[in-house]
Amino acid sequence: ARCQCKLVPRERRNCGYPGISAAECRKAGCCFNTSVPGVPWCFSPKPRKVRKVCPNESYGRINCGFPGITAKECERKGCCFRAHPAGVPWCFYHRVVEE
């Protein structure tokens, strides 16, 4: 994502080799910006910021438990628990979203 490449020049960590092209740099998953001389032009992007959320919509639930699992057992597995509505998993996996 573009926001991952918005780094101040002093924070850039080299991700290429001298003379690397923009296409080769991007193909390697790196950022390319030649606007500041004396710093790496091909550099590592910022790490993605993600967080886990329990989906609110019941149709998006992916089963993480078994029939009769308790909230405590489900949460011990690192999953979400909501005992409603009927007919959908009550113990289900988190969804990872980018911030």
Six token digits for residue 20: 């690397």
pLDDT of residue 99: 65
51 class by beta-carbon count within 10 Å (0-12 exposed, 13-18 middle, 19+ buried): exposed
Q: How many CB atoms are closer than 10 A to CB 20?
A: 19
Q: How many CB atoms are closer than 10 A to CB 43?
A: 20
Residue of 62 and 3 predicted with greater confidence: 62
pLDDT of residue 61: 92
The CATH 4.10.110.10 domain(s) of the chain lie at 3-47, 50-98
CATH number for the region 3-47 comes to 4.10.110.10
pLDDT in tens, 18-69: 999 999 999 999 999 999 999 999 999 988 778 889 988 888 899 999 999 9
Task: Note whether 40 and 13 are within 8 A (CB).
Answer: yes
Q: Fold for 50-98, please state it.
A: Spasmolytic Protein; domain 1 (4.10.110)
The helix/strand/coil state of 26 is: helix
pLDDT band at 94 (very low <50, low <70, confident <90, very high): very high
